Amino acid sequence: MLIDQFPPAFTFILAAIVLLAVPQGRARGALSLIVPIVAALQVWNYDTGIYNQVEFFGFTLELMRVDKLSTIFGLIFCLAAFLGNLFAWHVRDSVQQVAALLYAGAAIGAVFAGDLITLFIYWEGTAIASVFLIWARRTEGAYHTGLRYLLIQIGSGVILLAGVVLCYRETGSITFTKMTLGTLATWLIFIAFGIKCAFPLLHNWLQDSYPAATVTGTVILSAFTTKLAVYALARGFPGTELLIYIGAVMTVFPVFFAEIENDLRRVLAYSLNNQLGFMVVGVGIGTEMSLNGTASHAFAHILYKALLFMSVGAVLFRTGTSKASELGGLYRTMPLTTVFCLVGAASISAFPLFSGFVTKSLILDATASNHYTLVWIMLLFASAGVLSHSGIKIPFFTFFAHDSGMRPKEAPFHMLLAMGITAFLCIFIGVYPDPLYALLPYEVEFHPYTVGHVIGQLQLLLFALLAFGVLMRTGIHPPEIRAINLDSDWVYRRMLPKFIGSIAFAVTAFWALQTKFWMHRVDGVIARLYKSHGPEGRIAQVWPTGSMVLWIAILLGATLLVNFV
């Protein structure tokens, strides 16, 4: 294995081992910052092609399959690892440090996997490494959340493995390439990807686990798992029409939940889900333009989502809470964090000159130009929703709104630095998207800053802003404002939250009922198993010489019977 062909995933894994030998402190922090840079350089220097083929049981594993699609994901993962580790500079917990490196390494390894077996190994690797970021919080709740998370992630891996085995059986090949839905094998692989990608109804793990991780763990978690799944879908199922509808639903339904959610990190988790929807739609359309849109949106999304998680994380770090109802007015003492949060909010809301704008337009345009009008409308609605819950709700309730009376210190320097770099990148991409476009898998013939795009987007955003402003005013002075103006909007705004509330209630109730039903069933089964197989049960009896002899007789009888009949 040549040194310049050393897989970047191994760099991370190796560094995770070396890290333990380095004493806590600056040296260790520095190492965890250098590693992503080294890995990024490695990724950058790879030429397109297949490297590091390893024989394994008669299968040829391709540890490094490099093309433009895998390179862009590899690069953004390295970048995310760097920013996440910088944000976590103050952490002195070996578990988190090692887990973060292993997690990033596994995600990058999976991105470059040229065959399904390698993909499976790294797929499970991300699951196992990441759960420690949740457990590292070391609370009872985090422990149980981590278990649930691990169960689902490992489940996804097992389903993937089943799909891979079937796929090998059917086609005789384990190459990870474009597949067509139809056989059981492809469906299993599709579902495995879908679980990690948080498809609707398979999404609960995301909102459950991300807000439960440590302050820094959430930042790192938000970057890898789901975007790995998006990559896997873009590699395996581009142009699968089903994905367009799944993606459209994904963009819309979290909006309702995000609106009524109080924990800001959970709001962000819902909006993460919503953003994934855009990427899934892009994969589903499957044209060059839409795949470009998916890749670039993933790139931009990792940055601004990390930025938002970082800013809320910094607040949580300083104040100990991330509940909207307990926060407010923090801009007085955390001005820089406020600014960075606003940059993140502007990016996720796709304001012109911010990164979300130049990437989301690709997907929206691809949707429109392929005549998926209904989907396009859903995406527009979802965009407005994003603005409302992530673009406004997060910064507003954290830093403005009513004064909570808290006067926390500004975030520590390394956090500010991490947020600053990320914010700079968000703006840089928004202003000057060409370098990002150059990285995309296909040639880009797209100009985000046309009059149509900008005006259209601004209309959407400004109208949503207006609506929010009015709502807030009505919230503060209900009788007068309601009487004065915007009667139609009043109906709309008064009706909609109620409507949303009842939908959310119905879904939640149904979900709870279903969970309860199954939990009850499972409890019953376990109780019965315990009765028969537990230490006191019949199956576990241990002193019965007589019954043993009886069994010998029975078995001999059975064997003889089988032999002679």
Residues at the site binding another protein, with contacts judged by CB under 8 A: 57, 120-121, 124, 143, 154, 158, 161-162, 165, 169, 529-530, 533-535, 537, 539-545, 547-549, 551-552, 554-556, 558-560, 562-564
Q: Taking the complex as a whole, how short is the minimal distance between the CB of residue 469 and another protein, in angstroms?
A: 49
Both structure tokens of 45? 């220097």
Q: Taking the complex as a whole, how short is the minimal distance between the CB of residue 167 and another protein, in angstroms?
A: 12
Cβ contact 376:363 at 8 Å: no
Query: Residues 101, 102, 103, 107: is their CA dihedral positive or negative?
Result: positive
Q: Quick one: 54 or 491, whose CB is closer to another protein?
A: 54
Q: Quick one: 3 or 542, whose CB is closer to another protein?
A: 542
Report in angstroms the alpha-carbon separations of 527 from 194, 519, 524, 532, 541: 33, 12, 5, 9, 18
Q: Quick one: 144 or 447, whose CB is closer to another protein?
A: 144
Q: Quick one: 488 or 563, whose CB is closer to another protein?
A: 563
Return the H-helix or E-strand segment holding 27.
Answer: helix 26-45
Q: Taking the complex as a whole, how short is the minimal distance between the CB of residue 404 and another protein, in angstroms?
A: 35
The torsion defined by the Cα of 93, 99, 100 and 104, in degrees rounded to 10, comes to 170
Q: Taking the complex as a whole, how short is the minimal distance between the CB of residue 121 and another protein, in angstroms?
A: 5
Q: Taking the complex as a whole, how short is the minimal distance between the CB of residue 119 and another protein, in angstroms?
A: 12
Q: What is the 3-state secondary structure (H, E, C) of 303-354?
A: HHHHHHHHHHHHHHHHHCCCEHHHCCCHHHCCHHHHHHHHHHHHHHCCCCCC
Q: Quick one: 2 or 542, whose CB is closer to another protein?
A: 542
Query: Residues 192, 195, 196, 197: is their CA dihedral positive or negative?
Result: positive
Q: Taking the complex as a whole, how short is the minimal distance between the CB of residue 285 and another protein, in angstroms?
A: 35
Q: Taking the complex as a whole, how short is the minimal distance between the CB of residue 537 and another protein, in angstroms?
A: 8
Cβ contact 285:245 at 8 Å: no
| Residues contacting 452, CB < 8 A, separation 6+ | none
Q: Quick one: 511 or 530, whose CB is closer to another protein?
A: 530
Distance, CA of 105 to CA of 228 (rounded, Å):
12
Q: Quick one: 182 or 535, whose CB is closer to another protein?
A: 535
Q: Quick one: 94 or 485, whose CB is closer to another protein?
A: 94
The torsion defined by the Cα of 253, 307, 415 and 96, in degrees rounded to 10, comes to 50
Cβ contact 352:457 at 8 Å: yes
Q: Quick one: 502 or 547, whose CB is closer to another protein?
A: 547
Whose structure tokens read 């955003």? 461
Report how far apart the first and last C-alpha atoms of the chain are (Å, whole number).
Answer: 61
Cβ contact 288:418 at 8 Å: no
Q: Taking the complex as a whole, how short is the minimal distance between the CB of residue 225 and another protein, in angstroms?
A: 19
Q: Taking the complex as a whole, how short is the minimal distance between the CB of residue 223 and another protein, in angstroms?
A: 24
Distance, CA of 360 to CA of 379 (rounded, Å):
10
